[in-house]
Amino acid sequence: MIVPGYRDHPTERWDPIAPVDPGEAEDFLRQCYLENPRLGPVEPRLAIVRAQIAATGGYAHTTEELAYGAKMAWRNSSRCIGRLYWRSLVVLDRRRARTADDIFSLLVHHLRVAGGGDRAGAIRPVISIFAPALPGQPYARVWNEQLIRYAGYRTDDGSFVGDPRNEEFTAAMQGFGWQGKGEAFDVLPIAVETPAEGVRLYELPERAILEVPLTHPEFGWFAELGLRWHVVPAISNLRLTIGGVQYPLAPFNGWYMGSEIGARNLADENRFNMVPIVAARMGLDTSRESTLWRDQALIELNRAVLYSYEKAGMKIADHHTESQRFLTHLRNEEKAGRPVPADWTWIVPPISGGATPVFHRYYEELDLRPNFYLDPEAQALAQSGTRTCPFSG
Ligand code: ARG
Q: Is the pLDDT of residue 35 over 80?
A: yes
Q: Is the pLDDT of residue 391 over 60?
A: no
Q: How does residue 9 score in pLDDT terms, banded at 50, 70 and 90?
A: very low
Of 74, 80, 143, 239, the active-site residue reads 80
**pLDDT at 14 (0 to 100):** 60
Mean pLDDT score, 350-358: 98
Mean pLDDT score, 179-206: 97
Task: Report pLDDT digits (tens) over 51-78.
Answer: 999 999 999 999 999 999 999 999 999 9
CA of 233 to the centre of ligand 1 (A): 5
Nearest CA to ligand 1 atom 4: 260
| Residue 307 half-sphere exposure toward CB, CA atoms < 13 A | 14
Residue 77: CB within 6 Å of ligand 1?
no
- The answer to whether 32 is a known catalytic residue is no
In angstroms, how far apart are the furthest CA atoms of the chain? Answer: 71
**pLDDT at 3 (0 to 100):** 60
CA distance linking residue 166 with residue 366, whole number of Å: 31
| Residue 381 half-sphere exposure toward CB, CA atoms < 13 A | 24
CA distance linking residue 72 with residue 70, whole number of Å: 5
Task: Report pLDDT digits (tens) over 303-317.
Answer: 999 999 999 999 999
Q: Is the pLDDT of residue 175 over 50?
A: yes
Residue 260: CB within 6 Å of ligand 1?
yes
Mean pLDDT score, 27-49: 98
Q: Is the pLDDT of residue 49 over 80?
A: yes
**pLDDT at 4 (0 to 100):** 54
Contact predicate 144/234, CB 8 Å: no
Nearest CA to ligand 1 atom 5: 233
CA dihedral sign of residues 23, 28, 29, 35: positive
Mean of the per-residue pLDDT values of the chain: 95
Residue 349: CB within 6 Å of ligand 1?
no
Backbone torsion region of residue 207, taken as left when φ is above 0, otherwise alpha when ψ lies between -120 and 50, otherwise beta: alpha
Q: Is the pLDDT of residue 91 over 80?
A: yes
CA distance linking residue 127 with residue 149, whole number of Å: 18
CA of 284 to the centre of ligand 1 (A): 30
**pTM of the complete model beyond 0.85:** yes
**pLDDT at 393 (0 to 100):** 38
Task: Report pLDDT digits (tens) over 108-142.
Answer: 999 999 999 999 999 999 999 999 999 889 999 99
Q: Is the peptide bond before 370 cis (omega within 30 degrees of 0)?
A: yes
Q: Is the pLDDT of residue 390 over 80?
A: no
Backbone torsion region of residue 363, taken as left when φ is above 0, otherwise alpha when ψ lies between -120 and 50, otherwise beta: beta
Q: Is the pLDDT of residue 234 over 80?
A: yes
Q: Is the pLDDT of residue 205 over 70?
A: yes
- The answer to whether 98 is a known catalytic residue is no
Percent of the chain residues topping a pLDDT of 70: 95
Kind and range of the H or E element at 64?
helix 63-75
Helix, strand, coil fractions of the chain, as percent rounded to 5 = 40, 15, 45
CA distance linking residue 205 with residue 263, whole number of Å: 29
Of 260, 300, 322, 377, the active-site residue reads 260
Residue 189: CB within 6 Å of ligand 1?
no
**pLDDT at 11 (0 to 100):** 38
**pLDDT at 50 (0 to 100):** 98
Nearest CA to ligand 1 atom 6: 233
CA of 114 to the centre of ligand 1 (A): 14
Atom of ligand 1 nearest to the CA of 255: 10
**pLDDT at 387 (0 to 100):** 85
Kind and range of the H or E element at 373?
strand 371-373
Task: Report pLDDT digits (tens) over 250-307.
Answer: 999 999 999 999 999 999 999 999 999 999 999 999 999 999 999 999 999 999 999 9
Contact predicate 111/232, CB 8 Å: yes
CA of 358 to the centre of ligand 1 (A): 18
Q: Is the pLDDT of residue 13 over 60?
A: no
CA of 256 to the centre of ligand 1 (A): 6
Residue 316: CB within 6 Å of ligand 1?
no
Atom of ligand 1 nearest to the CA of 260: 4
Contact predicate 240/93, CB 8 Å: no
**pLDDT at 7 (0 to 100):** 47
Pocket-testing residue among 147, 256, 268, ligand 1, by greatest number of atoms within 8 A of Cβ: 256
